[in-house]
Amino acid sequence: ARDPPGSPAEQHRPAPLASRTGGGGVLTRSACPFLADAPWCGHCQALAPEFTRAAGILKNESAGLRLAKVDATEETDLSTEFGVTGYPVLKLFRDGNRTHPIDFTGARDAEGIVRWMRRKAGPSAELLQDEARAQEFIASQDVVVVGFFKDLQSKAAQGFYDVASDAVDVTFGVSNKTELFQKYSVTPDTVCLFKKFDEKRVDFPLDAELGLNKEELSRFIVLHSLELVMEFTSQNSPKIFGAKIHNHLLLFINKTLETHLEILGSFQAAAPPFRGQVLFVLIDVNGEGAQVLQYFGLKSHEAPTMRFINVETNKKYRMATDEFATQAVGSFAQAVLDGKVQPHLMSEEVPEDWDKHPVKVLVGKNFEQVAYDETKNVFVKFYAPWCTHCKEMAPVWEELGEKYKDHENIIIAKLDATVNEITNLTIRGYPTLHYFPAGPDRKMIEYKSARDLETFSKFLENGGTLCVPHVPPPWPLAPFPHGAEGWVPRISPPPGR
């Protein structure tokens, strides 16, 4: 339902663009981002109110910032011109430049859109002219970055402005004043990151011959804007997974217990040598971190404990016996990096009645002996308890188990992949079906056809093949929430699953 005419929401609604009504003229304004969406797109529907709210905030500003939207399913000419192939897409048109729009890279909420727009439309760094303003500026945020340049028109200074324009979540300043060089004991062409935690200040001096490397400066800012130990919260989660550090060392503690808090000091002391290699993360099992426990197969009473995870390979590691002294923490982290620690695989205990029903129950501890039994053909459903698709398929899978329960060499099984892990087998969506044929070759065949009793049966009777063209499942795999970016995504169901 649309808002009534004249209501605040309707007044602030982004202007619709249409190629046939001269939409291109709107794009010649000083700064006009447009949202390309589709009416049926769920992500578009979620973004729409945030985009409208951002439009309302920006409408009252004098910087010439306006938002517009395009129904890409109707305005196919505009979609083709600007290469829109998925939805939603946000692009910024600046200074009437229609040929080189800027892709949106900010957070997809109202505040993120406004922050990104202001940075793109205005100066990316504040010019600091005197000591009083510099001190006030540095004290204004937890993290600020100041570039000290002899010549603000130099190539290095321009590169600094480019980095500042892209790093919209950090506040930037710049100065060419000799008095400020002296105040902060810097030589010309140095970038300083000031922060209210850890080292308080970190310098990035420029090489006189090589100049400023924008990628290196951007990486420097990301790394040093993070605390040495990041506590997992909903607010910090984007920083943790946006840092692009694949190795995470997690300390699970209960912050209400003094004995647990005492461990934090030694954990933090171990972190400095690993900056940029390993992200040290604090998990409060009595707070927001409680939701992380299931992903590591832990219970709150097992804290304090540590886990190491590589979020790229999804491999997890643990100490044989938890030790929290600084040297022990550092040695463990280094041993994992050096490949001297074997991955730790989660597994439930084997149920006493695991083989008493038509569909056998597998866990990490009995998977190997069952799936790779050379005398059996084993068909396994890897599922998640919260997955709607898995629940919809469950009756058919039970029928399949009933049909083959007395078969001499076919086993129908299931495994809860949220709490059981298998060596060299990564599950990327639910349900995933794998067939393990009899024989010594340890083969594995992923089943990707129709999910009904008849097709399943034909697949099994043909020894793991189908003599029919590939038929896609009636519904897609339920993905892990938010993709496969780290150790939070797979611990709770995505919306609507």
Q: Which residues of 76-100 are buried (b: 16+ CB within 10 A; e: fewer)?
A: eebbeebebeebbbbbbbbeeeeee
Average pLDDT over residues 122-127: 84
pLDDT computed for residue 492 by the predictor: 38
Which of 32, 192, 390, 467 is labelled catalytic? 390
Average pLDDT, the chain: 84
User: Per-residue pLDDT tens for 152-178?
Assistant: 999 999 999 999 988 878 999 999 999
Q: Taking a C-beta distance cutoff of 8 angstroms, is the pair 42, 76 a contact?
A: no
Instruction: Determine what percent of the chain is predicted with pLDDT higher than 70.
Output: 81
**Where does the pLDDT of residue 488 fall: very low under 50, low under 70, confident under 90, or very high at 90 and above?**
low
pLDDT of residue 325 exceeding 70, the answer is yes
pLDDT computed for residue 473 by the predictor: 57
pLDDT computed for residue 468 by the predictor: 59
User: Per-residue pLDDT tens for 428-483?
Assistant: 889 999 999 999 999 999 999 999 999 999 999 999 988 655 555 555 555 444 33
32 is an active site residue: no
**Where does the pLDDT of residue 309 fall: very low under 50, low under 70, confident under 90, or very high at 90 and above?**
very high
User: Per-residue pLDDT tens for 11-41?
Assistant: 445 444 444 444 444 444 444 444 555 666 6
pLDDT of residue 496 exceeding 50, the answer is no
Domains annotated on the chain, with CATH? 8-120 (3.40.30.10), 126-225 (3.40.30.10), 229-337 (3.40.30.10), 359-479 (3.40.30.10)
Which of 32, 44, 192, 467 is labelled catalytic? 44
Where helices occur in 122-278 by DSSP H, the ranges are: 131-139, 155-166, 178-183, 214-225, 237-242, 258-269
Select the more confidently predicted residue: 92 or 483: 92
Q: Give the whole-angstrom CA distance, residue 387 versus residue 427.
A: 14
3-state helix, strand, coil in the chain (%, to 5): 35, 20, 45
Indicate the pTM of the whole model: 0.67
Q: Angle at which helices 326-337 and 258-269 pack, to 10 degrees?
A: 60
Q: Taking a C-beta distance cutoff of 8 angstroms, is the pair 65, 120 a contact?
A: no
pLDDT of residue 75 exceeding 50, the answer is yes
pLDDT computed for residue 33 by the predictor: 47
Select the more confidently predicted residue: 154 or 42: 154
467 is an active site residue: no
User: Per-residue pLDDT tens for 333-362?
Assistant: 999 999 999 999 889 999 999 999 999 999
pLDDT of residue 486 exceeding 80, the answer is no
pLDDT of residue 112 exceeding 70, the answer is yes
User: Per-residue pLDDT tens for 364-418?
Assistant: 999 999 999 999 999 999 999 989 999 999 999 999 999 999 999 999 999 999 8
Q: Give the whole-angstrom CA distance, residue 396 versus residue 393.
A: 6
387 is an active site residue: yes
